[in-house]
Protein backbone atom coordinates (compact mmCIF):
# COMPACT_ATOMS: atom_id res chain seq x y z
CA UNK A 1 0.00 0.00 0.00
CA UNK A 2 1.33 3.42 -1.00
CA UNK A 3 0.42 5.76 1.85
CA UNK A 4 2.13 8.59 0.01
CA UNK A 5 -0.48 8.37 -2.73
CA UNK A 6 -3.33 8.39 -0.20
CA UNK A 7 -1.86 11.44 1.55
CA UNK A 8 -1.53 13.20 -1.78
CA UNK A 9 -5.24 12.85 -2.52
CA UNK A 10 -6.22 13.65 1.07
CA UNK A 11 -4.33 16.93 0.71
CA UNK A 12 -6.67 17.86 -2.16
CA UNK A 13 -9.68 17.14 0.02
CA UNK A 14 -8.27 19.31 2.82
CA UNK A 15 -7.78 22.15 0.35
CA UNK A 16 -11.32 21.66 -0.93
CA UNK A 17 -12.86 21.79 2.53
CA UNK A 18 -10.87 24.92 3.29
CA UNK A 19 -12.03 26.53 0.05
CA UNK A 20 -15.64 25.67 0.91
CA UNK A 21 -15.26 27.53 4.22
CA UNK A 22 -14.87 30.70 2.17
CA UNK A 23 -18.61 30.56 1.45
CA UNK A 24 -19.75 31.14 5.07
CA UNK A 25 -16.78 33.50 5.53
CA UNK A 26 -17.90 35.74 2.67
CA UNK A 27 -21.52 35.43 3.81
CA UNK A 28 -20.58 36.55 7.34
CA UNK A 29 -18.64 39.52 6.01
CA UNK A 30 -21.36 40.66 3.61
CA UNK A 31 -24.23 40.31 6.08
CA UNK A 32 -22.11 41.46 9.04
CA UNK A 33 -23.75 38.71 11.08
CA UNK A 34 -20.54 37.95 12.99
CA UNK A 35 -18.31 34.90 13.22
CA UNK A 36 -16.16 35.63 10.16
CA UNK A 37 -12.94 34.94 12.08
CA UNK A 38 -14.26 31.46 12.88
CA UNK A 39 -13.79 30.62 9.20
CA UNK A 40 -10.83 32.78 8.19
CA UNK A 41 -8.31 30.90 10.34
CA UNK A 42 -9.53 27.35 9.56
CA UNK A 43 -9.82 28.13 5.83
CA UNK A 44 -6.24 29.45 5.71
CA UNK A 45 -5.01 26.50 7.77
CA UNK A 46 -6.67 23.95 5.48
CA UNK A 47 -5.49 25.56 2.25
CA UNK A 48 -1.88 26.02 3.44
CA UNK A 49 -1.64 22.60 5.11
CA UNK A 50 -3.18 20.88 2.11
CA UNK A 51 -0.89 22.70 -0.32
CA UNK A 52 2.23 21.83 1.68
CA UNK A 53 1.19 18.19 2.03
CA UNK A 54 0.43 17.98 -1.69
CA UNK A 55 3.83 19.43 -2.48
CA UNK A 56 5.65 16.99 -0.20
CA UNK A 57 3.80 13.91 -1.45
CA UNK A 58 3.69 14.75 -5.16
CA UNK A 59 5.20 12.28 -7.61
CA UNK A 60 4.43 11.49 -11.23
CA UNK A 61 2.09 8.64 -12.09
CA UNK A 62 -0.20 8.69 -9.08
CA UNK A 63 -2.42 5.62 -9.29
CA UNK A 64 -4.90 4.28 -6.79
CA UNK A 65 -5.40 0.60 -6.13
CA UNK A 66 -8.69 -0.67 -4.68
CA UNK A 67 -7.19 -0.92 -1.17
CA UNK A 68 -5.81 2.60 -1.38
CA UNK A 69 -9.15 3.91 -2.64
CA UNK A 70 -10.96 2.37 0.33
CA UNK A 71 -8.44 3.90 2.73
CA UNK A 72 -8.79 7.27 1.02
CA UNK A 73 -12.59 7.25 1.29
CA UNK A 74 -12.44 6.35 4.99
CA UNK A 75 -9.72 8.92 5.56
CA UNK A 76 -11.69 11.59 3.71
CA UNK A 77 -14.58 11.41 6.18
CA UNK A 78 -12.24 11.50 9.18
CA UNK A 79 -10.05 14.32 7.88
CA UNK A 80 -12.93 16.42 6.51
CA UNK A 81 -14.71 16.20 9.86
CA UNK A 82 -11.52 17.00 11.78
CA UNK A 83 -10.96 20.28 9.94
CA UNK A 84 -14.67 20.95 9.47
CA UNK A 85 -15.04 21.00 13.25
CA UNK A 86 -12.68 23.97 13.66
CA UNK A 87 -15.25 26.75 12.94
CA UNK A 88 -17.62 25.29 15.55
CA UNK A 89 -14.91 25.19 18.19
CA UNK A 90 -13.32 28.57 17.41
CA UNK A 91 -16.68 30.36 17.34
CA UNK A 92 -17.59 28.99 20.76
CA UNK A 93 -20.63 27.16 19.39
CA UNK A 94 -19.29 23.99 20.97
CA UNK A 95 -17.76 23.78 24.46
CA UNK A 96 -15.18 21.22 23.37
CA UNK A 97 -13.48 20.06 20.20
CA UNK A 98 -15.00 16.59 20.66
CA UNK A 99 -18.49 18.11 20.45
CA UNK A 100 -17.43 20.11 17.41
CA UNK A 101 -16.04 16.98 15.77
CA UNK A 102 -19.31 15.14 16.46
CA UNK A 103 -21.30 17.94 14.82
CA UNK A 104 -19.02 18.00 11.76
CA UNK A 105 -19.09 14.22 11.38
CA UNK A 106 -22.87 14.23 11.76
CA UNK A 107 -23.02 16.78 8.97
CA UNK A 108 -20.65 15.16 6.48
CA UNK A 109 -22.21 11.74 7.04
CA UNK A 110 -25.74 13.26 6.86
CA UNK A 111 -26.62 11.61 10.18
CA UNK A 112 -28.49 14.66 11.39
CA UNK A 113 -27.79 14.25 15.11
CA UNK A 114 -26.72 17.44 16.87
CA UNK A 115 -25.21 18.49 20.20
CA UNK A 116 -26.25 22.15 19.80
CA UNK A 117 -28.56 23.12 22.65
CA UNK A 118 -29.44 26.54 21.27
CA UNK A 119 -29.54 26.83 17.49
CA UNK A 120 -31.05 30.26 16.90
CA UNK A 121 -28.39 31.99 19.03
CA UNK A 122 -25.53 30.78 16.82
CA UNK A 123 -23.87 32.93 14.17
CA UNK A 124 -25.69 32.60 10.87
CA UNK A 125 -22.38 31.71 9.23
CA UNK A 126 -22.06 28.73 11.58
CA UNK A 127 -25.56 27.54 10.74
CA UNK A 128 -24.81 27.93 7.04
CA UNK A 129 -21.59 25.91 7.40
CA UNK A 130 -23.54 23.26 9.28
CA UNK A 131 -25.95 22.96 6.35
CA UNK A 132 -23.17 23.00 3.76
CA UNK A 133 -21.38 20.06 5.40
CA UNK A 134 -24.56 18.03 5.18
CA UNK A 135 -25.15 19.01 1.55
CA UNK A 136 -21.61 18.02 0.59
CA UNK A 137 -21.99 14.69 2.34
CA UNK A 138 -25.29 13.95 0.65
CA UNK A 139 -23.76 13.06 -2.70
CA UNK A 140 -20.42 12.16 -1.17
CA UNK A 141 -17.21 14.13 -0.75
CA UNK A 142 -15.30 11.79 -3.02
CA UNK A 143 -17.95 12.11 -5.73
CA UNK A 144 -17.52 15.88 -5.63
CA UNK A 145 -13.77 15.75 -5.99
CA UNK A 146 -13.92 13.17 -8.75
CA UNK A 147 -16.17 15.62 -10.60
CA UNK A 148 -13.99 18.67 -9.97
CA UNK A 149 -10.42 17.46 -10.12
CA UNK A 150 -9.10 15.92 -13.37
CA UNK A 151 -6.14 14.53 -11.41
CA UNK A 152 -8.54 12.05 -9.80
CA UNK A 153 -9.27 10.55 -13.20
CA UNK A 154 -6.69 7.86 -12.54
CA UNK A 155 -8.21 5.44 -10.05
CA UNK A 156 -11.52 7.32 -9.85
CA UNK A 157 -13.48 4.14 -10.60
CA UNK A 158 -11.97 2.56 -7.49
CA UNK A 159 -12.99 5.63 -5.49
CA UNK A 160 -16.60 5.49 -6.64
CA UNK A 161 -16.77 1.76 -5.95
CA UNK A 162 -15.38 2.35 -2.46
CA UNK A 163 -17.78 5.16 -1.58
CA UNK A 164 -20.92 3.82 -3.26
CA UNK A 165 -21.66 0.21 -2.21
CA UNK A 166 -24.35 -0.17 -4.88
CA UNK A 167 -22.12 0.94 -7.72
CA UNK A 168 -20.92 -1.71 -10.16
CA UNK A 169 -18.09 -1.13 -12.57
CA UNK A 170 -20.14 -2.34 -15.50
CA UNK A 171 -23.01 0.08 -14.84
CA UNK A 172 -21.44 3.42 -15.69
CA UNK A 173 -23.82 6.18 -16.68
CA UNK A 174 -21.25 7.59 -19.12
CA UNK A 175 -18.03 6.34 -20.64
CA UNK A 176 -15.97 8.40 -18.18
CA UNK A 177 -16.39 8.18 -14.42
CA UNK A 178 -15.72 11.89 -14.06
CA UNK A 179 -18.55 12.73 -16.47
CA UNK A 180 -20.90 10.50 -14.49
CA UNK A 181 -19.96 12.25 -11.24
CA UNK A 182 -20.49 15.67 -12.83
CA UNK A 183 -23.90 14.63 -14.18
CA UNK A 184 -25.08 13.39 -10.78
CA UNK A 185 -23.84 16.53 -9.04
CA UNK A 186 -25.59 18.66 -11.68
CA UNK A 187 -28.89 16.90 -10.92
CA UNK A 188 -28.27 17.25 -7.17
CA UNK A 189 -27.58 20.97 -7.51
CA UNK A 190 -30.55 21.49 -9.81
CA UNK A 191 -32.97 19.84 -7.40
CA UNK A 192 -31.54 21.88 -4.52
CA UNK A 193 -32.12 25.11 -6.44
CA UNK A 194 -35.63 24.02 -7.39
CA UNK A 195 -36.52 23.39 -3.76
CA UNK A 196 -35.06 26.76 -2.73
CA UNK A 197 -37.22 28.61 -5.26
CA UNK A 198 -40.36 26.77 -4.20
CA UNK A 199 -39.66 27.44 -0.52
CA UNK A 200 -39.24 31.14 -1.30
CA UNK A 201 -42.58 31.14 -3.11
CA UNK A 202 -44.10 29.39 -0.08
CA UNK A 203 -42.97 32.26 2.13
CA UNK A 204 -39.64 31.30 3.67
CA UNK A 205 -36.95 33.95 4.08
CA UNK A 206 -33.83 33.46 1.90
CA UNK A 207 -31.56 32.28 4.74
CA UNK A 208 -34.05 29.69 5.96
CA UNK A 209 -34.85 28.53 2.43
CA UNK A 210 -31.16 28.04 1.63
CA UNK A 211 -30.45 26.05 4.79
CA UNK A 212 -33.54 23.89 4.50
CA UNK A 213 -32.79 23.14 0.83
CA UNK A 214 -29.18 22.25 1.59
CA UNK A 215 -30.26 19.76 4.26
CA UNK A 216 -33.34 18.30 2.57
CA UNK A 217 -31.56 16.90 -0.47
CA UNK A 218 -29.03 14.87 1.61
CA UNK A 219 -32.01 13.80 3.80
CA UNK A 220 -29.99 14.91 6.80
CA UNK A 221 -32.45 17.13 8.65
CA UNK A 222 -30.31 19.96 10.04
CA UNK A 223 -32.39 23.13 10.36
CA UNK A 224 -31.59 26.72 11.41
CA UNK A 225 -34.26 26.61 14.12
CA UNK A 226 -34.64 24.65 17.33
CA UNK A 227 -38.14 23.50 16.41
CA UNK A 228 -36.99 22.51 12.93
CA UNK A 229 -39.77 22.76 10.31
CA UNK A 230 -42.45 23.18 12.98
CA UNK A 231 -41.07 26.67 13.63
CA UNK A 232 -42.49 27.92 10.32
CA UNK A 233 -46.08 26.77 10.80
CA UNK A 234 -46.53 26.61 7.04
CA UNK A 235 -48.22 23.60 5.50
CA UNK A 236 -46.88 24.37 2.01
CA UNK A 237 -43.34 24.40 3.34
CA UNK A 238 -43.97 21.00 4.91
CA UNK A 239 -45.39 19.63 1.65
CA UNK A 240 -42.44 20.89 -0.41
CA UNK A 241 -39.89 19.46 2.01
CA UNK A 242 -41.72 16.14 2.16
CA UNK A 243 -41.84 15.82 -1.63
CA UNK A 244 -38.17 16.68 -2.08
CA UNK A 245 -37.16 14.33 0.74
CA UNK A 246 -38.93 11.49 -1.06
CA UNK A 247 -37.31 12.51 -4.35
CA UNK A 248 -33.89 12.63 -2.69
CA UNK A 249 -34.29 9.01 -1.63
CA UNK A 250 -34.38 7.84 -5.25
CA UNK A 251 -31.27 6.46 -6.96
CA UNK A 252 -29.84 9.51 -8.75
CA UNK A 253 -28.64 7.32 -11.58
CA UNK A 254 -32.31 6.92 -12.55
CA UNK A 255 -32.67 10.68 -12.71
CA UNK A 256 -29.79 10.73 -15.17
CA UNK A 257 -31.71 8.48 -17.56
CA UNK A 258 -34.87 10.53 -16.99
CA UNK A 259 -33.42 14.03 -17.48
CA UNK A 260 -30.40 13.51 -19.72
CA UNK A 261 -31.37 10.46 -21.77
CA UNK A 262 -35.15 11.04 -21.80
CA UNK A 263 -35.67 7.37 -20.94
CA UNK A 264 -38.32 7.17 -18.17
CA UNK A 265 -38.64 3.43 -18.77
CA UNK A 266 -35.54 2.94 -16.58
CA UNK A 267 -37.61 4.01 -13.58
CA UNK A 268 -40.02 1.12 -14.03
CA UNK A 269 -37.39 -1.42 -15.03
CA UNK A 270 -35.40 -0.75 -11.89
CA UNK A 271 -36.70 -3.12 -9.20
CA UNK A 272 -35.63 -0.76 -6.43
CA UNK A 273 -37.71 2.23 -7.59
CA UNK A 274 -41.21 0.64 -7.77
CA UNK A 275 -40.60 -0.94 -4.36
CA UNK A 276 -39.56 2.42 -2.94
pLDDT at 148: 56
CB count within 10 Å of CB 34 equals 14
Query: What are 220-224's contacts with CB under 8 Å, separation 24+?
Result: 220/107, 220/110, 220/111, 220/112, 220/134, 220/137, 220/138, 221/112, 222/107, 222/112, 222/114, 222/130, 222/131, 222/134, 223/119, 224/119, 224/120, 224/124, 224/127, 224/131
What pLDDT sits at residue 164?
Answer: 47
Would you state the pLDDT for residue 37? 95
pTM of the model: 0.88
Q: Where are the domains of the chain?
A: 3-248
Block means of pLDDT (10 residues each) for the chain, length 276 residues? Answer: 84 93 97 95 96 85 73 88 97 95 95 92 96 90 60 49 44 64 87 98 97 96 94 97 94 85 83 88
Q: Is 121 exposed, middle or buried (0-12, 13-18, 19+ CB in 10 A)?
A: exposed
- pLDDT tens-place string over residues 136-162: 988 876 666 665 555 444 445 545 544
pLDDT given at position 136: 92
Amino acid sequence: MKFRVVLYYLSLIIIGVGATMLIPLIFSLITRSGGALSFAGPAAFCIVTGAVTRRLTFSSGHKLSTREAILLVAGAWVVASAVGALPYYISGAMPSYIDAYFEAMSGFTTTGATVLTSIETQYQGILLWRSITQWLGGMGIIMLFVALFPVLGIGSAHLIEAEMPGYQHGERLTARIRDSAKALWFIYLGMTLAEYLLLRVAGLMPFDAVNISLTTMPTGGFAPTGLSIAAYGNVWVEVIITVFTIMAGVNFGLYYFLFFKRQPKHLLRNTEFPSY
